[in-house]
Amino acid sequence: MEAKINELKRLWAEAADLRSVGAVLDWDQSTYMPAGGAPARARHIALLGRLAQEKATDVRIGHLLDELQAYAESLPYEHPDAALVRVGRRMYERDLKVPPAFIGDMFQLGAESFNAWAKARPENDFKSLRPYLEKILDTSRRLANFFPGYEHIADPLIDTSDFGMKATTLRSLFAQLRRELLPLVKAISAHPPADNSCLYRHFDQKGQLEIGAELSRQMGYDFQRGRMDLTHHPFTTRFSDGDIRITTRVNEHDLADCLYSCLHEAGHAMYELGIRPELNATALGHGTSAGVHESQSRLWENLVGRSRDFWVYAYPRMQATFPGVLDDISLETFYRAVNKVQRSLIRVDADEVTYNLHVMIRFELELMLLEGNLQVRDLPEVWHAHYQADLGVRAPDDRDGVMQDVHWFAGQIGGMFQGYTLGNILSAQFYQAARQAHPESPEEMRSGKFDTLHGWLIENLYQYGSMFTTDEVVQRATGGPLSIEPYMAYLKGKYGELYDLG
């Protein structure tokens, strides 16, 4: 059986490695590639996508999975070989449904559209993107239709990033969360807003990158196995177990933008870095779902990085990085500034309380587009209308409206956003469990010690990669199913104190 397992791993490694190489091309496209490189790059990304899909659907993989089925079932559920065959079969059968040429075309369209977006967004030119988005919507529908028998057309797309989730379940989960969030937002809005003007002073790029890197490193991001570069829309990418990179961006008049993008992406990267090395380039060598991945970026960004304990350690570091700039700002003022609740325009800059309202708009618009209940040409206005209704604000343009997030423009509509809210919910569940196991960890953070928390997360979550599904990993790590209670308790506790809601 060992020989068969090794052969399965060898075949899979080629597909996984080609996808990793595609990730290098994507990363370069988003960071350093000169404008002239775009056309050929799209073709290269398409070629790699197609070849990887061919390798991933090699009939020999199917035969090996069949031959290994009985062996895998004889093993404990937690055994890596059992997971390899169990999860590998799921992925193989999913990949089998999608022709390699379709993947190639879809990746090419995504790369072309990404480059068009990077140019059109600063120019506030949605019109030039509309043809791309229409093609992407059509492509996303065709992708879903490779998986007939769905209840909602978005389900196959959601299932790919958050296995086991469906549009109806999510609609009802989000509605429940919304019912809890809206009164909290309303209660906070009745109080005087925090003063966060100190975040909009001038902070030079060099210092912002330094402190972003320093705090990420301190939390546990390993720069020997990663690096940080500038991009339009920050992301984390994995090339191998030894090379997991983060990206950020800098606005010299907005301290929070770079800072929290660093902590957020470092969280994603720490998840990937914590996966057992032997799972690399197998079907298990990535975080298990968009939601669980996001739970880790949000845990480090928010539950750690917006906590008072964290800033007891980090604020003197921050002040030292920008000599003189924050001398008149107390720790408490700074802490309140980074936790200001305010209905706003930009998802990635949103506070913890209103953030999910941004996500829900996108999730709903994705569903409507896929259902055919919304046309791409109407999207910019419908976007504004939703923001007006849910957040009481309207962007002055499409740049900070429908064009603010790269996701749809990078090649897919559907399944792109539910993970953000699932991640918020899960972040509080995991954090609660970690704190129960290690009540000393918040106190430790006050002196810059994060390894107790980090170690618990590696032990209970990171190391497993995709061995367990979201449901399984939540059950194993927290002892219960997914629930919004810890998340709402966290928000109510923290913001009740901050805004004196009594």
Residues that bind a second copy (CB under 8 A): 13-14, 17-18, 20-21, 24-25, 28, 32-41, 43-44, 47-48, 51, 222-227, 229, 239-243, 245, 280-281
Nearer to a second copy, 237 or 424 (CB): 237
* 299 touches 269 (CB < 8 A): no
Among 180, 188, 186, 185, smallest CA distance to 499 is for 188
Least Cβ distance, residue 263 to a second copy (angstroms)? 19
Least Cβ distance, residue 226 to a second copy (angstroms)? 6
Nearer to a second copy, 243 or 309 (CB): 243
Instruction: Determine the Cα–Cα distance for residues 326 and 205; give it in Å rounded to an integer.
Output: 16
Nearer to a second copy, 127 or 227 (CB): 227
Active site residue: 265, 272, 352, 366, which one? 265
Nearer to a second copy, 61 or 433 (CB): 61
Among 325, 324, 352, 327, smallest CA distance to 338 is for 352
Least Cβ distance, residue 180 to a second copy (angstroms)? 42
Nearer to a second copy, 35 or 389 (CB): 35
> How far is CA 372 from its chain centroid?
26
Q: What is the DSSP string of 159-175?
A: HHHSTT--HHHHHHHHH
Least Cβ distance, residue 462 to a second copy (angstroms)? 16
Nearer to a second copy, 18 or 292 (CB): 18
Which helix (H) or strand (E) element contains residue 245?
A: strand 243-248
Instruction: Determine the Cα–Cα distance for residues 62 and 488; give it in Å rounded to an integer.
Output: 44
Q: What is the DSSP string of 318-338?
A: HHHHSTTTTTT--HHHHHHHT
Residues 6+ positions from 138 with CB-CB distance below 8 Å: none
Nearer to a second copy, 109 or 318 (CB): 109
73 is catalytic: no
With b meaning 16 or more CB within 10 Å and e meaning fewer, what string describes 11-36? Answer: bbbbbbbbbbbbbebbbebbeebeee
Among 132, 185, 45, smallest CA distance to 402 is for 132
Among 421, 405, 422, smallest CA distance to 413 is for 405
Least Cβ distance, residue 282 to a second copy (angstroms)? 13
Least Cβ distance, residue 6 to a second copy (angstroms)? 15
- For residue 12, give both structure tokens: 């899979």
Which helix (H) or strand (E) element contains residue 247?
A: strand 243-248
Least Cβ distance, residue 278 to a second copy (angstroms)? 13
* 333 touches 314 (CB < 8 A): no
Catalytic residue annotation: 265
